[in-house]
Amino acid sequence: MQKIFGGKSTTPKKALLLGAGFVVKPTLTFLIDHDVEVTVACRTLESAQKLCKDVKGTKAISLDVENAEALDAEVGKVDVAISLIPYTFHPLVIKSAIRKKVDVVTTSYTSPAMVELEKEIQEAGITVMNEIGLDPGIDHLYAVKTIDEVHKAGGKIKSFLSYCGGLPAPEASANPLGYKFSWSARGMLLALGNTARFLKDGKTEEIPGHDLMSVAKPYSTGYTGFAFVAYPNRDSTPFKEKYSIPEASTIIRGTLRYAGFPEMIRCVVDLDFLSQDTQDFLKPSSNPLTWKEATAKILNSTSSSEQDLTWAISSKHSFANTEEKSRIIAGLRWIGLFSSDPIIPRSTPLDTLCATLEKKMAYENEERDLVFLQHRFEIEHADGKKETRTSTLCEYGDPKGYSAMAKLVGIPCGVAVMQVLAGKMQKGLLAPYTPEICDPLRNELREKYGIDMVEQTVA
């Protein structure tokens, strides 16, 4: 098929879209709407066919990215490869793209394994564009915008805070964690074990993963309808260099959750429910234990009665007060840990718990999700005046369409793909940390798709 524009014939661009996650569909439909021919590749053909159902101009295939020959064969047929598979597999895709001289786009952070390929990427003359989803992605576009504006006016960024939360909308948050799973419960819970590093008042601080929930604090966004708590997320210290703010004495990037989340998680951690150690009594069985029996074994309780389980819990976890104890015990009861329901055994306490959480805390039909992202800049202007400025994105999902999270990852990815295909991106290993990359992406997302962060001076 050929299209005629201005009297010249052009061959449609072709893309290989790798992945089966929830952000794949909005990226897929975006590309199809922009006349890109898309091949969707998943490990199983069934997953790819499901994504392609009712989407014209697509082709579904089964592909194992660890099979270099098969991957090369598919990458060699297209103009761009979009890798929305787990980040550990991106280097395999990039190596194939280097061999076939094909551009790549991902929504993941630029990993050390990718950096090791930077010279080969440059020699191949291809573009590998990373970090263009929501977080990372949209967050970079607006951080760079304000920082660049302040610097050009002779000012300084003294403090930079950035917090993002993917949450159920308030009306859908009625469970003990105030959270629902649109992706792997295991991934979310394991992320809570990552050590956090950040810069505060000129000093680098480090919080071990097991203490992370202890530093979660109420966080005022200025939007008083939300009761958020915030905690630091992974390593914020490289952003001093990435955002070109050597003058900043505080740099913290983190996560938002609803109030009550940290206390529940802290208790679950203390009770060893996030343990990844294999237990014989949790191995798959035709006659699995009940939850109260499994809980008794995990806690080493004298019996599986709720009274004894509560005593065992109190011996392992310190509650702030009686009210908090009642709330958390009620939450554990809601999850089903004291019940006679059979467990879904998955060998470890973590995976067995995840099986139940994914079942009980999935989004129901007609329920919306919420994405809330906010930057807070403490600015010192050239004339010495101080300003506190926020940049905020608050987006709800559409129960009849895409979730807010899927939209805000998928659409920025699609826009970046189109800019790469149009030759608007420079060659090399890229991420949106400069105005030259950020400005065109941010402007198109705002003007064409209504994806914007609202800026306010709050002090």
For residue 218, the cross-strand partners are 229
Instruction: Give the H/E segment covering residue 297.
Output: helix 291-299
Which spans in 34-184 are helix H? 45-52, 68-75, 90-100, 112-115, 118-124, 138-152
Q: What is the pLDDT of residue 182?
A: 75
Please tell me the pTM assigned to this model.
Answer: 0.93
Catalytic residue chosen out of the listed positions 33, 64, 72, 135: 135
Read out DSSP for 99-138? Answer: HHT-EEEESS---HHHHTTHHHHHHHT-EEE---BBTTBH
Instruction: Report d(CA 338, CA 199) in Å as an integer.
Output: 42
ω into residue 136 within 30 of 0, thus cis?
yes
Nearest CA to 442 among 218, 143, 231?
A: 143
Cα 447 from Cα 147, distance rounded (Å):
21
Contact (CB, 8 A) for 269 and 262: no
Place of tokens 């009861």: 333
Q: Please give the pLDDT value at position 3.
A: 39
| Paired tokens of 285 | 């069985």
Is the Cβ–Cβ distance between 459 and 397 less than 8 Å? no
Q: Which DSSP category does 45 fall into?
A: H
Q: What residues does 164 pair with on adjacent strands? A: 255, 373
pLDDT of 184 reads: 74
The pLDDT tens digits along the chain (459 residues) read 343 333 344 689 999 999 988 889 999 999 999 999 999 999 999 999 999 998 988 999 999 999 999 999 999 999 999 999 999 999 999 999 999 999 999 999 999 999 999 999 999 999 999 999 999 999 999 999 999 999 999 999 999 999 999 999 999 999 999 999 877 788 889 888 899 999 999 999 999 998 999 999 999 999 999 999 999 999 999 999 999 999 999 999 999 999 999 999 999 999 999 999 999 999 999 999 999 999 999 999 999 999 999 999 999 999 999 999 999 999 999 999 999 999 999 999 999 999 999 999 999 989 999 999 999 999 999 999 999 999 999 999 999 999 999 999 999 999 999 999 999 999 999 999 999 999 999 999 999 999 999 999 999
Q: How far apart are CA 96 and CA 74, in angstroms?
A: 10
135 is catalytic: yes
